[in-house]
Structure 1
């Protein structure tokens, strides 16, 4: 088993005005990854990713997941390639279906999300490689489009839920991002789907995990789990200190997960304090 990388997600529940301070704290604490969720209608994912990349020195910055229905694929490729070239080796770009209710609110919902994801990710990967792309698909249409400044050697991630999407992500990307609030059984089943379908043993599997430390941690986790419509936090979250989180990271690594992303509760009162504990955790598991 390879020791999983450890990161944190700055969730849409937290004011983007706090973003730079928390990102710099994560960078200084030695965390491996800093993730951003592009939830409608909250933080803009590419804006916040660029901000974090420009405000930190070494930490990898992940964006998951950009909803395919919301962005023209050529524009997405331009933005992603630019960030890759500005910050080589540090940007982890992820694409997914988008929450269908939100896609409906924006008028972007499609009849076949899987068809769109296939057309979109195929075109996006080709554009990032520097290929000239002409396609007339059900949802994606491009006519002799080629990026002037591609990013051919950078990783590309997909994510979502359900066996079909997970198998597609495993076989068509460099890494799969799981949804938050997955139970142990769901994580194990999802890992098995990805491992069976992945095109390389280097395929990364990124899993968020609810984490709360300090006074009131158990209460915050209980409230968060209830907001997610779950009745029990068992197998969904970890509380305590650095040693407790380290044990959870090791346990998840044994399932096949390569990156564990600490997911704060919506009411986390001290993000920098959580980052400090995660830094201690990262040092302990390496």
Structure 2
């Protein structure tokens, strides 16, 4: 029986070296991969990926948030090729357009997210294949660019939330990376959409990976854990979070609460029940059941993003590894 892939995801805001014990624990406990999110004004993904790849022997490293606002796709392709050289077959990238507020810090904007994402994917794929590129893309261009391609080109996923970007991922990419804060209802519905589209495009389901980043706090103090997750979720774009919360938050409830500027109203929306639907928050003895609920949505990979102090994460990794779920169809 093949288990659902289990990975450890880092937000990009914490200290790089402080997470090394968790990285080592993931390697030792049989995790499948590491995910590292690039956030403008925090950490890039390339330097941490380099450190973590050199500290491990088998874990796949997925770089999240590669986008054309922060660097030219030609430079991004060079970085991915370099990583693939030092860790053949262990590099993956989840690409997208970036968070508008963060992109704006670089003086950039994204007017047509779908077109920009397709352009980025096509440019990276061509570059990593060693194709000579002379072409104008939306927002960037190449003139006689030709990369020395890596022996094993990194897989390219597309980060998606709404149906049109999910469809774009299915049409072009090697997989889709679904956002943190997604409810199990949203995930099950999106998996169904992906599988329907794969069939329409004639693409084998086994060749396409559906991954999800899951915020997690495992604690004996559930009230505090839920409050901590709610605090993080409240920083998300409200319409996006409402969409991800399918089955958990009433339409327009969070948008209205955040617009009020009153924390009490936000707290009335992000209740403990809502948080439980959108993250992995449980007692230590509940980890197996919580992981099984995510596996039951049909996703291929669960990337756990601990919202916990770094020194607590190695023990969390061991607990997660001891409770790895089987796929929904095999459970």
Could you report, residue by residue, the CA deviation over 1:132-154 in whole angstroms, capped at 9, with x for unpaired residues? 12211332311221112334543
Query: Are 1:212 and 1:274, in contact at CA under 8 Å, matched by a contact in 2?
Result: no
CA separation in 2, counterparts of 1:28 and 1:151? 27
Alignment-derived partner of residue 211 in structure 2 = 206
CA separation in 2, counterparts of 1:221 and 1:38? 25
Query: Are 1:31 and 1:278, in contact at CA under 8 Å, matched by a contact in 2?
Result: no
Alignment-derived partner of residue 303 in structure 2 = 261
Pairwise CA RMSD: 2.2
Could you report, residue by residue, the CA deviation over 1:111-170 in whole angstroms, capped at 9, with x for unpaired residues? 222221111110110111121122113323112211123345432111121111111012
**Is residue 138 of structure 1 aligned with residue 143 of structure 2?**
no
Between structure 1 and structure 2, the one with the greater Rg is 2
Query: Are 1:3 and 1:253, in contact at CA under 8 Å, matched by a contact in 2?
Result: no
CA-CA distance at 1:217 after TM superposition: 4.5
Match of 2:316 among 258, 262, 274: 274
**1:55-204 alignment runs, 5 A limit:** 55-151=55-151, 153-198=153-198, 199-201=203-205, 202-204=207-209
Q: Residues 19 and 267 (structure 1 numbering): CA distance in 2 closer, same or farther, change over 3 Å?
A: closer
Provide TM-score, normalisation by structure 1: 0.91
Query: Are 2:19 and 2:310, in contact at CA under 8 Å, matched by a contact in 1?
Result: no
Query: Are 2:34 and 2:60, in contact at CA under 8 Å, matched by a contact in 1?
Result: yes
Q: Residues 115 and 48 (structure 1 numbering): CA distance in 2 closer, same or farther, change over 3 Å?
A: same
Residue 221 of structure 1 aligns to a residue in which SS?
Answer: helix
Alignment-derived partner of residue 225 in structure 2 = 220
CA separation in 2, counterparts of 1:281 and 1:12? 26
Alignment-derived partner of residue 4 in structure 2 = 4
What number of residue pairs does the alignment pair up? 284
CA separation in 2, counterparts of 1:150 and 1:285? 33
CA separation in 2, counterparts of 1:146 and 1:217? 53
Structure 1 runs not aligned, ≥5 long: none
Runs of 4+ in 1 over 6 A off after TM superposition: none
CA separation in 2, counterparts of 1:269 and 1:218? 21
Alignment-derived partner of residue 38 in structure 1 = 38
CA separation in 2, counterparts of 1:154 and 1:227? 31
